[in-house]
Amino acid sequence: MKPVSANITDAVGQATIVSGSHRGLLDKIFLGLSIRNYLGQLLTNPVNWILGLILAIGIPLLCQRYLFGLQAITHGSQDYPWGILLGFGLFGMVPLSASGFLLSTTVEIFRRDDFLPIERLALLNGLLGYFFAVVFLLVDLGMPWRLTYPMVVSFGPAAVLFLVAWHVATYLSVQIAEMLPAVSEWADWPGLKRFIKKITLGLTIAGIILSTLHQGALGALFCYAPAKIHPLWIAPEFQWLHFFVSSIFAGLCMVIVVSWLVKHTMTWRCDRRYLSTLDGITLGLAKGAALAMITYLVIKLVAVAHDQEWLLLISGWGLYYLLELGLGTVVPLVIFAYGVRHSRVTMVRWGALLAVAGIVWNRLNTVLICYNYRLHQEIPYWKELWVVLTVLGFYFIVYRFILYRIPVLFRWRQ
């Protein structure tokens, strides 16, 4: 990694950051390097070799899926209609992408300017998370070319998924609009930025509404299977609240994790403001996440009490449930409480990583492991797992491509 970033820093450190507006598009895309140099640095980066390996196997698998049907890459289980593709890709990615609406609310509504340096990263994380959740959906849908049917062709407005579809589509556009100021700086279209600025408040409030509803709706989807999912993981009255509140700390923890990774792997791209404020911001985010976690634990408890499930807690599934809540929420919560109080930033970051894993685990439990718990367990086919990895590879590539160029981690100077 070192030589790569050093290369680019040399080229970009002077060219990109200092003089902004007069560079050509090619310069902007190739980071001020010649195409030859640019490709050269791509090849010397070991991360790209790993990505190459993933894609080299994954792209043929994707072709297989589109030519021969889902059966070619999944078990095609009739008992588990939603496999890991959706369980991770949609139900796992979406809560981690709540970061966009959370930070835009913090900065634009609550006027917490101290979180400004991280706002764009959170917005981008949200946008890409949603976008790739849709990509996962396109892989998993039986007829992906009919993605727009619920909007254009045939309406089932009483279905929860109808709400999810419309809200994710609308929210995706809201998030694109929210990212436009950064793009307009990069592409030098100041008019666009001025326009978005005028409607920022509307966009932000729309974002809160849409996020509340579809994060909740993803949970409410499981209310359609009240008897199939283990009772500890389904509480029809509270399911939407569980999913919504857990998405709050999921999104915040995801920002902590991403900002941490970026700080170490793309230091050259971060400006001084980002680097100097990040530790304080991380602690602030952890504080917010901890509050959401307490809320989450309380409503989880309320659900157990409401459905009279105390005895289930001492069964095998109950212990598994406690393990999930303990490792995924209570431990990070304790870490956050201790870390924030004693300003232990690194500790907080590891806690955030644990919480992110905990949320994905919770969603996988709901979709796969505790679904049809009276039947056999579905263990994903390796090809399905590899396709998940492949889409994540694309996600990583796009994420990195944008962070390198668009002013997300740094401020654009005219």
Partner 1 sequence: MRAKISRRTLLKGLVAAMASTISMAPSRKSSAHDFQGYETNRGVLVDVSRCVGCRSCEVACSREHGLAPPPGLVDNYRLLDQQQQGMRRTDQNAFTVVNRHESPLLTHPLFKKTQCNHCLEPACLTACFVNAYTKTPEGAVIYDADVCVGCRTCMVACPFSIPAFKYDSAFAPQIMKCNFCFDTRLSRGRPPACVEACPMEALTFGYRNDLLRVARKRIRDTPGRYEKAVYGEFEAGGTSWLYISPVPFEQAGFDIHVPRQPILNYVKDFLAVVPMVLTIWPGLFAGIYLLARANKTHKNTNDHEDVSDETSER
Q: Which of residues 269-288 bind partner 1 (CB under 8 A)?
A: none
Enumerate residues 170-189 that contact partner 1 by CB under 8 A.
170, 174, 181
* Eight-state DSSP code of residue 229: B
User: Nearest approach, Cβ of 283 to partner 1 (angstroms)?
Assistant: 19
Q: Does 113 bind partner 1 (CB under 8 A)?
A: yes
By the rule CB under 8 A, 200 interacts with partner 1: yes
What is the per-residue burial (b if ≥16 Cβ within 10 Å, else e) of 377-396?
ebebbebbbbbbebbbbbbb
Is residue 226 at the binding interface for partner 1, with CB under 8 A as the rule?
Answer: yes
Site for partner 1 in 122-141 (CB under 8 A): 141
Bridge partner residues of 371 (DSSP): 229
In degrees, to the nearest 5, what angle opens at C-alpha 413 toward C-alphas 256 and 268? 45
Which of 30, 38, 162, 394 is in the footprint of partner 1 by CB under 8 A?
Answer: 162
Cα Rg of the chain (Å, integer): 22
- Cβ proximity to partner 1: between 146 and 341 the closer is 146
Q: 241 vs 340, which CB is nearer to partner 1?
A: 241
Largest separation between any pair of C-alpha atoms in the chain: 69
Minimum separation from the CB atom of position 209 to partner 1 (A) = 5
Query: Is residue 382 close enough to count as binding partner 1 by CB under 8 A?
Result: no
Q: Contact with partner 1 (CB under 8 A): which of 16, 41, 175, 239?
A: 239
Closest CA to 408 of 186, 221, 210, 209: 186
**Residue 155 near partner 1 by CB under 8 A:** yes
Piece of 3-11, 61-69, 317-325, 387-395 that binds partner 1 (CB under 8 A):
61-69
Q: Give the bridge partners for 229, in sequence order.
A: 371
For partner 1, the binding residue among 167, 230, 242, 263 (CB under 8 A) is 167
Note whether 358 and 332 are within 8 A (CB): yes
Structural contact between residues 305 and 252, judged by C-beta atoms closer than 8 angstroms? no
Residue 228 main-chain phi, psi, to 5 deg: -90, -30
323 or 375: CB nearest partner 1? 375
Judge whether 118 and 255 are in contact, CB under 8 Å.
yes
Is 160 a binder of partner 1 (CB under 8 A)? yes
